[in-house]
């Protein structure tokens, strides 16, 4: 169950990072809405990460959480913000996903 909580925490990490990107593009009072979303999603992500680390090793949990955030944010950047798609970006995202899965496989919880 804590792995599911950790994955959800990672998704909220993607959400708070994406809010920063949208805030950068927004104008007027919409900027404050994106920053409010950032704060809300950040708080949710941190609370879920804290919950997951009650039973998962902190090193593994933090690495998986950051990896989900990194991969997810790159994918949001490509899909939403039209960031460039190159062979090397895809290659390194793939190796990061492989490393995250490897950590999960070797963790004994």
> Tell me, what's the pLDDT at 109?
57
11: number of Cβ within 10 Å: 16
* Mean of pLDDT over the chain: 94
Q: What is the mean pLDDT of residues 10-26?
A: 96
pTM above 0.85, yes or no: yes
> Tell me, what's the pLDDT at 105?
87
- The first and second tokens of residue 104, run together, are 């999960």
């Amino acid at each position: 169950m804590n792995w599911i909580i950790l994955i959800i925490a990672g998704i909220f990490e993607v959400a708070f990072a994406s809010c920063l990107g949208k805030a950068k593009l927004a104008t007027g009072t919409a900027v404050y809405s994106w920053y409010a979303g950032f704060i809300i999603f950040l708080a949710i992500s941190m609370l879920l990460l804290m919950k997951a680390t009650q039973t998962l090793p902190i090193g593994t949990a933090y690495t998986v959480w950051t990896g989900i955030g990194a991969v997810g944010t790159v994918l949001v950047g490509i899909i939403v913000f039209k960031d460039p798609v190159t062979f090397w970006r895809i290659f390194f995202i793939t190796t990061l996903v492989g490393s995250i899965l490897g950590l999960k496989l070797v963790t004994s919880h």
